[in-house]
Amino acid sequence: MIKHSDSNSSIIPPAGGPGTKVDILAIGVHPDDIELGCAGTLVNEIRLGKKIGIVDLTQGELGTRGTINTRYEEAAKAAMIIGAQCRENLKMRDGFFRNDEEHQLKLIQAIRKYQPEIIIGNILHDRHPDHGRAGHLISDAFFLSGLAKIETKDELGNVQQKWRPKYFLQYLQDWYHEPDILIDISGVFEQKMKSIEAYSTQFYNSDTGSHGPQTYISSPDFLDSVIARARMLGKRIGVKYAEGFISEKKIGMRNLDALVLNET
């Protein structure tokens, strides 16, 4: 059983130690945000040889169903399904964290620890107020992490080097926003859904049904909506399933090989 610890927030520790660099750092305010928003894209990138890290800002302790311990177990299982290099939880207060200096510094430490080229995180405006607040926190920490005069230290007390990733991409959540980028996840969609289903206390399970108080995300209709959105986004680029992202920065391409070309 995986339990949380006040002294160790790692669920899956990085293979090369606390300073292991990743190519992409996925950040979610709640365990399961990443699985819902960008798991397919993460699996795609892992299949291309990229290293992926996951950071959850809170333990999801205000969730109606499940416990902190079951969230840790489910998050670890989901990370292994995705194939993430590491996953840790910053233990900010679910529902009550703020986009202030204290929380920004905590997230800057994580960004400098993993030195990602790309951050994928919560969207800036959504139904759940935690999502938007987290999105702004990630955006600010993304920028501030690149300022040399902001000092942070790693777990061993060493001063960290400044680090600013190249891009911050926001995954779509409950509210629909017009995406800037659509990623074909048709080949990994089943793996994405398995990572979501790892949160068995949160979502409806077709084998066991749904146990506990009914919530917004515990009905079969919610998972149907996840599938429907992926289909809708996929249709727009001529594939079966896709995930959408918003970028505050214009995306440049070195050549046209990366384009998804419709066969119709």
User: CA–CA separation, 131 vs 28, rounded Å?
Assistant: 8
Q: Count other Cβ atoms within 10 Å, centred on residue 150.
A: 16
State pLDDT tens for residues 86-113. 999 999 999 999 999 999 999 999 999 9
Strand-pair category, 86-92 with 10-12: antiparallel
Residues forming beta bridges with residue 26, ordered by sequence position: 54, 120
User: CA–CA separation, 62 vs 14, rounded Å?
Assistant: 28
The SS3 assignment for 69 reads helix
Q: What is the pLDDT of residue 2?
A: 39
- Both tokens assigned to 23: 């190519």
The beta-strand segments (E) located in the chain are: 10-12, 24-28, 52-58, 86-92, 118-121, 167-171, 181-184, 242-247
**Amino acid identity of 63?**
G
Residues forming beta bridges with residue 244, ordered by sequence position: 182
Cα 242 → chain centroid: 16
- Both tokens assigned to 32: 């399961």
pTM: 0.90
Which range (153-157, 175-179, 198-202, 260-264) has the least confidence? 260-264
Residues 6+ apart with CB under 8 A from 250: none
In the predicted structure, residue 210 carries a pLDDT above the cut 60: no
How high is the mean pLDDT of the chain? 89
Structural domains of the chain ordered from first start: 10-184 (3.40.50.10320)
**Residue from 61, 36, 65, 69 nearest 211 by CA:** 65
Q: How many CA atoms lie within 13 A of 190 on its CB side?
A: 1
**Residue from 259, 263, 260, 229 nearest 36 by CA:** 229
State pLDDT tens for residues 67-77. 899 999 999 99
User: CA–CA separation, 52 vs 46, rounded Å?
Assistant: 7
**Amino acid identity of 11?**
I
